[in-house]
Amino acid sequence: MEKYDVIVVGGGHAGCEAALAAARMGAFTLLINLNPDNVALMACNPAVGGPAKGHLVREVDALGGEQARAADASTLHLRWLNTSKGAAVRTLRAQCDLRRYHAHMKNVLESCPSLETFQGHVEALESDGQGVRGVRLRTGEVIVSSRVVLAPGTYLGGKVFLGMTSFSSGPLGQVSAPELGDDLRRKGFEVGRLKTGTPPRIHGDSVDWGSLVAQESAREPLSFSFNNPGRVYDGYACYLTRTNAETHAAVQSYMEENSRFFGLIEGPGPRYCPFIEDRVVRFPDREGHQIFLEPVAEGSKEIYMQNFSTGLPLEVQRRMLHSLPGCERARILRPAYAIEYDYLPANQLLPWLETKLLKGLFCAGQINGTSGYEEAAAQGLLAGINAVRTLRGEEPVVLGRHEGYIGVLVDDLVTRAPREPYRMLTSRCEHRLLLRHDNADRRLTPLGRSLGLVGDGAWEGFLRRERSCEEERRRLREWRILPSPGVNDLLRAAGTTPLEGAVSGEELLRRPEVTFDLLERLAPREDPPEGGVRARVEAEVKYAGYIERQEASVARLSRMEEMRFPEGFDFQGVRGLLAESAEKLSRCRPHTLGQAGRVAGVTPADLQLLWVALARPGHRNDR
C-alpha cells in the first residue's frame, strides 16, 4: 500500500489549494480526482471575485495560494465593483477564460514538487474509529495517510434536475460519487442535502448584441495577485439584458401546471444567487431582473447567462430565453439545470476545519455548505495548511474575524452551521474597514511567509510595497500646500472649500472630495507610486479615525477570543445557563468565549455566566 503525508480528495478549487499548500509546505501529497481533465473546473460562471469574494481571492494570494495567479493568467474582462461605496467594500471581478484557468492550475499542480496527482474514485475512508488512516478506491486499492482533506464539491451524491426529470450526475454531465457520502453516514457524520444550479449557455452568433448595453473592462492596469503587474484588457465585454412580464409568465405557467416542482428537491438553494423561478415567485411585483451575457473562453462562441439559473424543463428555458431583449433568436448550447448534493453541516468541524469525529480528516469547499470558487479556495488553503501543521504536532492556524474574510468565513461555518449554501458577503464582516481588498498582503503575507508558502520574490515585493506606503505617508505629512489661485480653482472644481492657509498633503487628502489623483494634479511627479500603494495610502488617510475605532473594538473583544474552553467543558453544568443555550453550546462545542457569543441564541447573560465559570481557578463548572 502506498503511503502519503496528506491525501486530498477532489480537484476543484478547494482541492487544488489544499494540495498545493500541503506540498509547498513540504508534505508528500496526493491529489485524487475523478477526472484530471476537470481540475479547477469552472462548472458555473467562469468568473472570479466580486463583493467579499474578491477580498477572499486577495487573502488567498497574500497567504501564498494560487487562485489569484490563475485568474490573472486567464482574465478576459476585469473591472472594479462597489466603487461608489467606499474603500472597505471596493473589489475586483474578473471574467475568465475557463480553459486557460484550468490549464494554468493543472500545470501548476503537475509541476509542484512533493505533489502527485491521480485519477481515481474514492468510495470510502479508512479509519480506526478515532482517526482517519487513508482512503479506499472503487478498484479496492487502499492508499494510506493519517491526513485526508475532503473537497468533493457537488459530486458527492450529485443529482441533476430539469423540471420533473432527474438523474444521477455531477456538474456539466460529469459522473457522480454517491458511495463516499454513504460511507460518511455509516461513520456517524450528519449528512444533509443542498442544491445549486447553473443557467443555460447560448451561442454568441444567435444574440442581437447591438440591442444590448455593454460593460467594458476598466481602463487602468489591474491584477488580482499582488505579485503580477496590472494589465488593461480589451476585446471582451459583458452585456446587460432584463427579464420582463413575458419571461415571468412562462415561469408562472409552468409552476401552476406542476405544483410538485418545488417539492422534488430536498435541499435548500442559495439565498443570494437564487434561481430565476425563485425570484419570480418571491418578488411577483418586480417588473424585471438583470441578466448578464458573459464570455466563457477566447475563441469560443459559448455565452454564459449570469443571474438566469434555473431547474425548469428545456422547453420552458427556451420560452424564457426568447422573451429577453437581444435573445429572441438565441440558441441554447447547454441547458440549465439544478443539482442536489451531499454536504456535512459545519458544526461538525473544529475551527481549523478538522472534523471532530475523526482526527486527521479535514473538509473544505461545498462539502461544508458553502457556494463559490472563492469560498472553496480559501477553505482549501486553510485545510491544506492545517493538515500539515497537525501532522507535525504544530498549533493549527485559526484566523480571527478581525484578521481576514477567511476568518469570518470559517467562524460563521463552524459556529452557525448554515443550512443553506453560504455565500461570503461584506455585510457579514464587522471589521471590514480593517479587512480591505488593498491591504490583504499587510495582514496575511507575514503569516504565509512563516508557513513556507510565500517565496523570496513575493516576500521582497511585499517589503517593497510596505516601504513605498511608509514613504508616501511621510511625504504627505511633510508636504505643505499653500493657497494659490491655481490650487483653489482645482479645489472648487472638486466641490471642496478653497485653502485659507497652508495645510499638509495628508490633511487635504482627508477631505471626502479630495482624491489622490487630485493631489497629483496639484503637484505632478515623474515617479508617482503604483496604483495599489496609492489606494492603500488614500484609504488609510481618509478613514484613519474609523480604523482606530475598529482597532480599539478589536482590542476590547480580544480577551473573549483568548478565553478558551478546556477540552470536555461541561456547558450543561454551568448554573443559570439557559437550557436552550447549554444544548446549542454542547452541540457546537465552541473553542473560545468569543466564539460562544456568536452561536445563535446565546444571550449576553449566558456569556457572563460562562465568563465567570472560565475565570474560576482550574476552569471548574458548577454542578
Interhelix angle 531-542/456-478, rounded to 10 degrees, is 50
The listed range with the strongest mean pLDDT (161-175, 265-279, 397-411) is 397-411
Position 113 scores a pLDDT of 96
State mean pLDDT over 287-292.
Answer: 94
Q: What is the percent of the chain where pLDDT is above 70?
A: 97
* Least confident among 72-81, 163-172, 210-219, 272-281: 272-281
pLDDT band at 618 (very low <50, low <70, confident <90, very high): low
pLDDT at residue 162 is higher than 80 = yes
Position 622 scores a pLDDT of 41
Position 524 scores a pLDDT of 79
Position 259 scores a pLDDT of 55
pLDDT at residue 623 is higher than 60 = no
User: Is 556 exposed, middle or buried, given 0-12, 13-18 or 19+ CB atoms closer than 10 A?
Assistant: exposed
Please give the C-alpha separations between residue 119 and each of 116, 179, 300, in angstroms, as whole numbers: 10, 17, 28
State mean pLDDT over 119-130.
Answer: 95
Contact yes or no for 296/98 (Cβ under 8 A): yes
Task: Print burial letters for 48-71: b (CB count within 10 Å at least 16), e (below 16).
Answer: bbbbbbbbbbbbbbbbbbbbbbbb
Position 260 scores a pLDDT of 57
State mean pLDDT over 526-532.
Answer: 80
Position 598 scores a pLDDT of 83
The residue written with cell numbers 477567511 in the block is: 406
Q: What confidence tens digit (pLDDT) does each residue in 440-463 have?
A: 999 999 999 999 999 999 999 999
Output the CA torsion sign for 323, 325, 331, 333. negative
Q: What confidence tens digit (pLDDT) does each residue in 395-414 have?
A: 999 999 999 999 999 999 99
State mean pLDDT over 107-130.
Answer: 96
Position 278 scores a pLDDT of 86
Closest of 179, 175, 125 to residue 155, by C-alpha: 175
Position 256 scores a pLDDT of 72
State mean pLDDT over 188-205.
Answer: 95
The chain-wide mean pLDDT, for the chain, equals: 91
Q: What confidence tens digit (pLDDT) does each residue in 533-547 have?
A: 888 999 999 999 889
Residue ranges of domains in the chain, CATH in brackets: 6-193+341-451 (3.50.50.60), 201-338 (2.40.30.260), 469-547 (1.10.10.1800), 563-619 (1.10.150.570)
Q: What confidence tens digit (pLDDT) does each residue in 469-527 have?
A: 999 999 999 999 999 999 999 999 999 999 999 999 999 999 999 988 898 888 777 78
Position 516 scores a pLDDT of 87
pLDDT at residue 258 is higher than 80 = no
Please give the C-alpha separations between residue 211 and each of 208, 215, 244, 325, 387, in angstroms, as whole numbers: 6, 13, 16, 7, 52
For residues 155 and 587, the model is more confident at 155
Position 263 scores a pLDDT of 65
Q: What is the percent of the chain where pLDDT is above 90?
A: 71
Q: What confidence tens digit (pLDDT) does each residue in 346-367 have?
A: 999 999 999 999 999 999 999 9
pLDDT at residue 119 is higher than 90 = yes
State mean pLDDT over 3-15.
Answer: 97
